[in-house]
Chains A and B, each alone.
Chain A
Amino acid sequence: MFNTEIIVKSLPMLLQASVWTVIYSLTSVAIGFCIGTLMCAAGLSASRLGRAVSAFYVSFFRGVPLLVQLLISYYCLPLIGVNVPSSVAAVGTLALCTGAYIAEILRGGFLGIPPGLIEAARMVGLSRAQILTRIEVPLAVRFTLPSLVNETTMMVKASSLISVVGVLELTRLAQNIATSTFQPLEIYLTAGAIYFVINGAITLAGEFAESRFRMEKAR
């Protein structure tokens, strides 16, 4: 019953689609990291407006299912004149969603930074922006690296949802092939294996980064 021929035949196409999965999810995480950093900084700032914006942002993008966010960005925003192509809607929504989680992850890291360190930085004349980019972010990332790697693997899997806005990625192609060949078992097992390998690679990269940037070495 198990047909290995169909796997051999569709593997190159699935691998090609998985390149899109990797591009979409990693681009989103990179953009989401910038958004998350800003939102985290705003959430911890003295400005009341900054804190309110950050709290609203995090609660919305963490509280609404990603699938619903994707549908809103693609089908509802055009009603108010914001009509972006599928790929932009997909990356934008993924980035905004992961940004909310990353903001919370980083908040944990920021709170772990000894206040004396920031005070010392201010004493030697570093500006607020310099303190953020040179001291707080590097330290917070080191503190929270395992959680950030975890979030990245989650986004690789979450990217399987973006086909609802018309973006081709691994899961959608697997569905299309499974439908056309009537061999769902073989195709979905192959797709699952590809996700497993992608996330395995991300985990390994994370472990390498952790060993490379260990706190002792940073001193």
Chain B
Amino acid sequence: MIQLSRRSSAVIRAARFAALGVVASMAFAGLARAEDVLAKAKAKGELTVGTELQFAPFDFVEDGKQAGMNKEIFAEIGKELGVKVTFLDLPWPSVLPGLEAGKFDMVAGPATITKARMERYRFSSPIANATVAILKKKGDTSITKPEDIAGKKVGSAKATAQLAQLQDFAKTLNPPPSAIQEYVDFSQSYADLGAGRIVAVANSLPNIAYLAKTKPDVFEVVQPPFGKPVYFGFIGTKAEDSKSLMDAVDAIIIKMKHDGRLAALQKKWFGTEMETPDQVTEASF
């Protein structure tokens, strides 16, 4: 009995100590979070951006290094803010949780601006049109318009807005596609399309236009896009301490739209310029 009580008191002491630690660290976290993200980045001279290097033409690897449109847009943002931009590469399902955990100041991506995401995140001024279209194998005559995927096996990437749009589109078809494969990332869906395991991949126009441009003898884009008109934007948190950073980024992107810098980058990476609004206040999807 004595032994028992002694043991339990040791456990209680340990638990009390742990609880104290948790409370103290939470209080500390609260203090740390109150600091303005932009002011902190400027003081440090560094803006940390989370992204995934598997989303050409925005972010991909060339000769072992990051390449793509994000790097070039953020070079301009970094110049205007007077900070160095450091990118952190994570698998996409980890990127938004990382933003919420405060692992980086904002997210490049970019991500499709959707209603559901707007409730949780603050989007930057859009940088491209993200309307979803179909990518097919070069010379596949059985698919000439988006509706032709009816009854066929198609794919898209897990946890993406593009997949959600494909699922919605599939409901309007009769018969619906025989299967919608969900991939961890788009590259696997392209590989399966190339291997003939699926006949079409649904993804945003800039991505598949770039792919068809770099691999013209393998892939082909099916025009027109089938999805609702949506846009790509960078992502920040809705927290008060991120507001000044996201406002500053918006101002820079809008400035780039007006002086033609963004259009030049769009032409370089998508092969065509894209009309985008200054701000998306209400998403169509």
Residues of A at the B interface (CB closer than 8 Å) are 9-10, 12-13, 16, 48-49, 71, 74-76, 78-83, 86, 163-166, 168, 172-173, 175-180, 182, 184
**Once the chains bind, are A172 and B89 in contact (CB under 8 Å)?**
yes
| A176 interface neighbour in B7, B25, B28, B60, Cβ under 8 Å | B60
The answer to whether A182 and B215 touch (CB under 8 A), given A165-B94, A166-B50, is yes
**Once the chains bind, are A179 and B98 in contact (CB under 8 Å)?**
no
CA distance A179 to B215 in the complex (A): 13
Query: Is residue B61 contacting chain A, with contact meaning CB distance below 8 A?
Result: yes
Most buried by B among A10, A83, A168: A83
| A180 interface neighbour in B62, B90, B94, B100, Cβ under 8 Å | B62
| A178 interface neighbour in B22, B62, B187, Cβ under 8 Å | B187
**Once the chains bind, are B26 and A168 in contact (CB under 8 Å)?**
no
Query: Is residue B116 contacting chain A, with contact meaning CB distance below 8 A?
Result: no
CA distance A181 to B244 in the complex (A): 38
Contacts of A164 in B (CB 8 A): 90-91, 94
**Would you mind naming 26 contact pairs between A and B with Cβ atoms under 8 Å apart?**
A13-B63, A48-B7, A49-B7, A49-B10, A74-B94, A75-B94, A76-B101, A79-B29, A81-B28, A83-B101, A86-B88, A86-B103, A164-B91, A166-B94, A166-B98, A176-B53, A176-B89, A177-B61, A179-B54, A179-B61, A180-B54, A180-B60, A182-B187, A182-B190, A182-B215, A182-B218
CA distance A177 to B60 in the complex (A): 8
In the complex, what's the smallest C-beta–C-beta distance from A180 to chain B, in angstroms?
A: 4
**Once the chains bind, are A79 and B101 in contact (CB under 8 Å)?**
yes
Contacts of A12 in B (CB 8 A): 64
In the complex, what's the smallest C-beta–C-beta distance from B213 to chain A, in angstroms?
A: 13
Contacts across chains A and B counted by CB atoms under 8 Å? 95
Query: Is residue B102 contacting chain A, with contact meaning CB distance below 8 A?
Result: yes
CA distance A83 to B98 in the complex (A): 11
Closest A residue to B52 by beta carbon equals: A176
Contacts of B22 in A (CB 8 A): 80
**Once the chains bind, are A175 and B64 in contact (CB under 8 Å)?**
no
Contacts of B10 in A (CB 8 A): 49
In the complex, what's the smallest C-beta–C-beta distance from A177 to chain B, in angstroms?
A: 6
CA distance A78 to B91 in the complex (A): 19
| A179 interface neighbour in B64, B185, B194, Cβ under 8 Å | B185
**Once the chains bind, are B90 and A78 in contact (CB under 8 Å)?**
no
Query: Is residue B56 contacting chain A, with contact meaning CB distance below 8 A?
Result: yes
CA distance A71 to B93 in the complex (A): 11
**Once the chains bind, are A74 and B91 in contact (CB under 8 Å)?**
no
Contacts of B2 in A (CB 8 A): none
CA distance A180 to B88 in the complex (A): 17
Query: Is residue B32 contacting chain A, with contact meaning CB distance below 8 A?
Result: yes
Query: Is residue B191 contacting chain A, with contact meaning CB distance below 8 A?
Result: yes
**Once the chains bind, are B53 and A78 in contact (CB under 8 Å)?**
no
CA distance A76 to B101 in the complex (A): 7
CA distance A179 to B88 in the complex (A): 17
| Given contact pairs A83-B101, A179-B54, a sample of 11 additional A-B residue pairs in the complex whose CB atoms are under 8 Å apart | A13-B63, A79-B29, A80-B22, A81-B29, A164-B91, A166-B88, A166-B103, A180-B54, A182-B215, A182-B218, A184-B187
Contacts of A13 in B (CB 8 A): 63-64
Contacts of B260 in A (CB 8 A): none
CA distance A75 to B7 in the complex (A): 34
| A74 interface neighbour in B26, B103, B194, Cβ under 8 Å | B103
| A78 interface neighbour in B94, B101, B191, B194, Cβ under 8 Å | B101
Contacts of A176 in B (CB 8 A): 53-54, 60-61, 89
Closest B residue to A78 by beta carbon equals: B101
In the complex, what's the smallest C-beta–C-beta distance from A9 to chain B, in angstroms?
A: 8
